[in-house]
């Protein structure tokens, strides 16, 4: 399995990172729709596109307005957008308000509230609510081959037994790591994760591979989250997501 990192920053882009968007070409599934989605046309596969939204904040949704150009060059017979019903309603009412974006997006909007899991083709998708201002959800994707991916972004991080059981032993755990440890109090106030919290989650979760996502765009260091502190505590291969990266899992 492959996943393309199209946008890996939180909040806003910087000179090297766009905001959150990841694409699974074998399934035509995108995780979030931040500004990085403009790169999607290079990788599109098949004639359907499914977008799983973690929440409605603009760094995860503004790229939905970029789809008209993308789909004009790569027509798709089916576009489906998935998320909590109140988030989808807010996006349709505000982001696609005629005074903000005066064009119609031909897509189906699919609330996930009434089911704990659903299918996209042969891929089973389940979700859990997370602690974040306005609320966000984590997704778990499972394939008939037994492969498993967990995507947890915009969260203070969940170390509860229920979350660990739900997300345990993923082939790829994609977890936000927005702040270094010295900003842990601010991370909790703003609903984000920091280095030691992610290390603890990964230690209990035991993924085969850990991808640190949704990094702080104001920290342009080569290692903006002190990832070696995480590597010291877990055995999994640990990578910091970068725009343009392709991950095999």
Give the mean model confidence (pLDDT) for residues 60-70: 96
Location of structure tokens 């739900």: 166
Q: Is the pLDDT of residue 45 over 90?
A: no
pLDDT at 71: 87
pLDDT in tens, 81-94: 999 999 999 999 99
pLDDT at 183: 98
Give the mean model confidence (pLDDT) for residues 6-25: 98
pLDDT at 74: 87
Q: Is the pLDDT of residue 55 over 90?
A: yes
pLDDT at 64: 98
Q: Is the pLDDT of residue 101 over 90?
A: yes
- Average confidence score pLDDT of the chain: 97
pLDDT band at 133 (very low <50, low <70, confident <90, very high): very high
Domain limits of the chain?
2-248
pLDDT band at 210 (very low <50, low <70, confident <90, very high): very high
pLDDT cut 90: percent of the chain above it: 96
Give the mean model confidence (pLDDT) for residues 99-124: 96
CA 43 – CA 49 distance, rounded (Å): 12
How many C-alpha atoms does 151 have within 13 Å on its Cβ side?
27
Give the mean model confidence (pLDDT) for residues 109-119: 97
Give the mean model confidence (pLDDT) for residues 18-46: 96
Q: Is the pLDDT of residue 196 over 90?
A: yes
Q: For the domain with range 2-248, which CATH number is right: 3.60.15.10, 3.40.190.10, 3.90.1150.10, 3.40.630.30?
A: 3.60.15.10
pLDDT in tens, 214-234: 999 999 999 999 999 999 999
pLDDT in tens, 2-11: 999 999 999 9
Cβ 198 vs Cβ 226: under 8 Å: no
Q: Which is higher by pLDDT, 99 or 76?
A: 99
Give the mean model confidence (pLDDT) for residues 157-173: 97
Q: Is the pLDDT of residue 51 over 90?
A: yes
């Amino acid at each position: 399995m492959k996943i393309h990192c199209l946008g890996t920053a939180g909040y806003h882009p910087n000179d090297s990172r766009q905001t959150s968007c990841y694409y699974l070409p074998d399934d035509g599934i995108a995780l979030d729709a931040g500004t990085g989605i403009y790169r999607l046309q290079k990788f599109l596969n098949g004639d359907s596109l499914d977008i799983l939204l973690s929440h409605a904040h603009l760094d995860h949704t503004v790229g939905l307005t970029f789809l008209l150009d993308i789909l004009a060059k790569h027509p798709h017979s089916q576009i489906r957008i998935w998320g909590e019903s109140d988030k989808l309603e807010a996006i349709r009412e505000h982001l696609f308000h005629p005074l903000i974006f005066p064009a119609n997006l031909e897509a189906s909007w699919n609330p996930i509230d009434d089911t704990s899991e659903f299918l996209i083709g042969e891929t089973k998708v389940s979700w859990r609510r997370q602690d974040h201002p306005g609320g966000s959800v984590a997704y778990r994707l499972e394939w008939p081959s037994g492969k498993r991916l967990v995507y947890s972004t915009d969260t203070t991080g969940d170390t509860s037994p229920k979350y660990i059981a739900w997300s345990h032993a993923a082939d790829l755990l994609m977890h936000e790591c927005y702040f270094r440890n010295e900003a842990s109090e601010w991370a909790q106030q703003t609903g984000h994760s920091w280095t030691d919290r992610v290390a603890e989650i990964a230690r209990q979760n035991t993924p085969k591979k850990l991808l640190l996502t949704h990094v702080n765009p104001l920290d342009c260091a080569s290692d903006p989250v002190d990832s070696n502190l995480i590597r010291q505590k877990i055995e999994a291969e640990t990578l910091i997501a970068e725009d343009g990266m392709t991950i095999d899992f």
